[in-house]
Amino acid sequence: MGLDKETSALEFISDLLSIITIATCFILKIPQILNILKVKNANGINLAGLLLELSSYTIMFSYNFRNGYALLSYMEYPIILIQEIVLIIFVMHYKNCLNIYGLIGTIIYTLIAAGLLLGTLPLGLIAFLVPLCTPIGASSKVVQLMEILKTKNSESVSVLTWFISAFTNFTRVFTISMDSADLTLLLNFTVNVVLSSSVMVAAYLYKHPKKD
């Protein structure tokens, strides 16, 4: 009886953390978007890193959706994806990358994402791609971290966004362990906690660059 109560309590905490994570993800990229609009530049933000991040989110969303995992365990992905796309558009605008190549890339991404979600592309392909999400997601954050360290300027980088990223990845380590205990997902989120925290610290340290 005691074990059942303990399990029920852990499941309740897991569900509560999932709800908090999903709710928090509604504003994950908002501070970053608003910060770019405020300073009217994208200094310190690496576009390649955002595109890698977009790829990782898309694959992970498709993997969870196609495997029929509990909705609460991955609902943040479609929410973040919408914000990520809006963020990328603004970054491309301030980096003067809104051109024909950007349009072609958008079309290719849309077709691939639709194939992953709707079943046009086989589930086996997604299962093959999912382990790559850890290095892809990690690379996106490493690239962003290196951009800040290289330019010594994080004027347009939102510290709050990276704090939320670290926090939500941390809560997912717990909720995934309670729901599916999928080792691939657990590794992915653990690595992201460390790297998101690193970007957050770097963004804070270089928030006010010295001017010559």
Please, what are the averages of pLDDT over each run of 10 residues along the chain (212 residues)? Answer: 62 78 85 92 90 91 88 81 93 89 89 90 88 86 92 90 90 79 81 92 82 50
Quote the pLDDT of residue 137: 82
Reduced to 3 states (helix: H, G, I; strand: E, B; else coil), residue 41 is coil
Taking CA atoms, 187 is separated from 6, 124, 127, 206, in Å, by: 25, 20, 15, 29
Indicate yes or no: pTM above 0.75. Answer: yes
Q: CA 75 to CA 71: how far, in whole Å?
A: 6
Q: Count of residues for the chain?
A: 212
Quote the pLDDT of residue 96: 87
Quote the pLDDT of residue 18: 77
Quote the pLDDT of residue 3: 54
Tokens of 178: 């309670």
Quote the pLDDT of residue 205: 92
Quote the pLDDT of residue 211: 53
Nearest to 56 by CA among 126, 107, 161, 156: 126
Q: CA 144 to CA 159: how far, in whole Å?
A: 13
Contacting residues for 31 by C-beta, under 8 A, at least 6 apart: 158, 160, 161, 164
